[in-house]
């Protein structure tokens, strides 16, 4: 998980900052933690945010600077640091508070998430209404065409999975510890909003496309959108389509994996994608992107805010 980037000064600085904020050795967490330990929401969010911000700083040190940023769920928070809306320290402090509140919410009322394959929005909305039965059940992630994640009470998720199979379609249960991006996170959202009152956001250096409305985020709306983020769906597909419409052709995924690159390709196979998670992939990106403008600035929203 990004271990061979650690001798890059900016990466080492990010890990040191994160270790101080999270109160634990982040290098040890990403290199030596068990799968069970990393499954804990607090540890997972700390590790992923540290790796994402560190990879972004490594890109900047190589002279590769993005023209826009887009996160996916937790990546929305990491993008605050990448765009300069918060410092690295402020970002990790927000991650620590956010993950703690989300963890408490999952203990108070367990939930689950499942990905419905070959799904379309109207069918998923209709199925959620059919299977809800007074419980929480709603679309949580619009990943890409044909893949929508739903989130809610465990028994409601089981009903929707059964109904989906009855329609001769497949699903994939997510390995999450709770029903994120659903009303089951309501209490966490309220407490997060109370914390965000004391946070001062700067205007982003580059546009940050918000998960909540698939529009560029500004400082004046950051608090309400980050609070709503816990209970509202992630509009990832719509955000990619916004950037594509603005002329973006190269999307760079920061951090371990490559899942988001796969989703972007499913939105449009003509889009180029790269994942930076080690020195080899960083070197490839530096050769491709240095001195270029791979992701043009999207247009302002029709509401008048950027």
Give the active site residues: 73, 181
Extract the tokens encoding 31.
């290199």
- Which of 266, 252, 279 shows the shortest CA–CA distance to 71? 252
3-class DSSP state of 276 = strand
Query: Nearest-5° angle of CA 41, CA 49, CA 255?
Result: 110
CA distance 183 to 196: 19
CB 53 within 8 A of CB 17: no
**Helix 88-108 × helix 9-22 angle, to 10°:** 40
CB 255 within 8 A of CB 51: yes
Query: Nearest-5° angle of CA 140, CA 234, CA 172?
Result: 45
Burial class of 270 by CB neighbour count within 10 A (0 to 12, 13 to 18, 19+): exposed
Name every residue whose Cβ is closer than 8 Å to that of residue 21 and which is 6 or more positions away in sequence: 89, 92, 93, 96
Paired strand residues for 210: none
- With residue 118 as reference, give the H or E element that holds it: strand 111-119
Query: Nearest-5° angle of CA 70, CA 74, CA 78?
Result: 60
Extract the tokens encoding 96.
């620590």
- With residue 113 as reference, give the H or E element that holds it: strand 111-119
């Amino acid at each position: 998980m990004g271990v061979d980037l650690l001798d890059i000064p900016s990466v080492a600085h990010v890990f040191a900052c994160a270790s101080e904020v999270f109160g634990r050795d982040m290098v040890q967490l990403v290199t030596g933690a068990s799968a069970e330990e990393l499954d804990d929401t607090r540890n997972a969010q700390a590790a992923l945010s540290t790796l994402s911000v560190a990879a972004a700083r490594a890109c900047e040190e190589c002279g590769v600077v993005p023209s826009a940023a887009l996160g996916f769920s937790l990546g929305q928070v990491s993008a605050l640091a990448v765009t300069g809306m918060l410092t690295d320290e402020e970002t990790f402090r927000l991650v620590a508070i956010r993950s703690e509140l989300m963890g408490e919410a999952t203990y108070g009322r367990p939930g689950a998430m499942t990905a419905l394959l070959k799904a379309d929005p109207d069918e998923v909305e209709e199925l959620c209404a059919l299977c809800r039965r007074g419980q929480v059940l709603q679309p949580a992630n619009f990943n890409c065409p044909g893949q929508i994640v739903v989130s809610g009470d465990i028994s409601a998720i089981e009903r929707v999975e059964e109904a989906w199979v009855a329609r001769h379609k497949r699903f994939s249960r997510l390995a999450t510890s709770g029903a994120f991006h659903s009303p089951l996170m309501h209490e966490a959202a309220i407490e997060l909003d109370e914390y965000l009152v004391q946070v001062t956001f700067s205007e982003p250096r580059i546009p940050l496309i918000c998960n909540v409305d698939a529009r560029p985020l500004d400082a004046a709306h950051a608090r309400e959108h980050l609070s709503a983020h816990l209970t509202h769906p992630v509009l990832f597909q719509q955000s990619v389509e916004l950037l594509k419409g603005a002329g973006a052709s190269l999307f760079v995924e920061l951090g371990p994996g490559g899942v988001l690159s796969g989703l972007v390709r499913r939105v449009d196979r003509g889009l180029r994608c790269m994942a930076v998670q080690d020195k080899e992939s960083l070197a490839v990106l530096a050769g491709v992107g240095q001195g270029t403008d791979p992701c043009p600035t999207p247009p302002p929203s029709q509401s008048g805010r950027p």
